[in-house]
A and B are shown apart, each in its own frame.
Chain A
Amino acid sequence: MVDVFDIYDKMERNNVLLSFKGEITSDLLTSILQIMENKMDTMQEEPKMKKKVYNVLVECLQNLYHHLDEVTEVEMDKNRSAIFMIGKLESKYTIFTGNYILNENIQGLKNRLDEVNALSKEELKEYYKKVLNNGEMSLKGGGGLGMIDIARKTGEKLEYNFLEIDNKISFFTLNIKVSSQQN
């Protein structure tokens, strides 16, 4: 039996505003964004912060959406499932995402994240423009712009972890902080 109170208590202590575990669809993203927008309005969040959180949420959720197929195509028994959580402690929002990833794709992603984390604000701006203008566009998304954009808008390092599940797949978690004390 699942200990529901344990889950509740953990979420309460982290002041989770919204969490979701399951298949990520386009309609679901529309709903999540709508709910978070309403919540931030109700909380009377300052417009600047609201915009930042919303922008970062869009990128985080669409990353999940675009990358779910990679694993299901290889591992048929894994459904298109991912986890997403957003919490607010004091004036800082934290967004957590988690999804399966093929082990063969870990190194590439890790390199990209480390590269982004090594750059200063000014270097991120130049890197963003370079990637934006390099003409390549993946059919799925922004062709690598998402992580750069998140790092640029939040001014925070991207915290991540890979948990090996078996010899084919791992669970990738990303932890993004959004606070108003930057720029």
Chain B
Amino acid sequence: MDKYAIEGTPKTPSISFDLAGGVLEIKGRSIPENSIEFYKPLVDSLDKYSSTAKPATTVNVQLEYFNTSSSKCILDVFKKLEGIHKGGSAVTINWHYEEDDEDMLEAGEDYQAIINVPFKMVMVAE
């Protein structure tokens, strides 16, 4: 399997992970009651990817809303990416936030402070 992709729902984001191209995209809303269950397949595919990682890995996160239950799972995803970064693939996390959404920008900065991977804060016009 060189691609993991799922469609978004009102409570969960769309995820597209192209393992062959080294591009991961998470978009939409992440407010499920059970986030661990939702994020487990992605964490598993990151484990798989880590042994065959491309020289560069690009991660695009563009979330409109996420709950605190997801925030721990997103951290787990980022920790996997940190491992992949240490393993020699140059990881960049592009954290998107809407122009007026200071809370989302701050959330990105929280992760940036915890995770040892280059972050880019990308402002999106509404």
Distance between Cα atoms of A62 and B31 in the complex (Å): 9
Q: Is A94 an interface residue (CB 8 A)?
A: no
Judge if B44 is at the interface, Cβ distance under 8 Å. no
Q: Closest residue of chain A to B104, judged by CB?
A: A51
CB distance from B64 to the nearest CB of A (A): 8
Dominant secondary structure of chain A at its interface with chain B: helix
Instruction: Decide if A133 is an interface residue (CB 8 Å cutoff).
Output: yes
Give A37-77 as 1s and 0s: 1 = Cβ < 8 Å from B's Cβ atoms: 00000000001100110110011001001100000000000
The number of A-B residue pairs with CB atoms under 8 Å apart is 69
Known: A47-B100, A66-B33, A129-B114. A141 touches B65 (CB 8 A): no
* Given A58-B31, A132-B110, A133-B114, CB of A48 within 8 Å of CB of B72: no
The A-contacting residues of B in range 88-119, CB under 8 angstroms, are: 98, 100-104, 106, 110, 113-114
Number of interface residues of A (CB under 8 A): 32
Query: Do residues A54 and B67 form an inter-chain contact, with CB atoms below 8 A?
Result: no
Report chain B residues within 8 Å CB of A26. Answer: 33
CB distance from A87 to the nearest CB of B (A): 22
Asked if B103 contacts A51 (CB within 8 A), the reply is yes
Q: Say whether A128 faces chain B, with CB atoms less than 8 Å apart.
A: yes
| Known contacts A132-B110, A153-B103; A59/B75 CB under 8 A | no
Q: List 19 A-B contacts (CB under 8 A).
A: A26-B33, A29-B33, A47-B100, A47-B101, A48-B100, A48-B101, A51-B101, A52-B103, A66-B33, A129-B113, A132-B114, A133-B75, A133-B114, A139-B36, A142-B67, A148-B68, A149-B68, A149-B71, A183-B102
List 9 extra interface pairs beyond A51-B101, A128-B110, CB under 8 A.
A30-B10, A33-B31, A47-B126, A51-B103, A58-B31, A141-B33, A142-B67, A143-B72, A146-B68
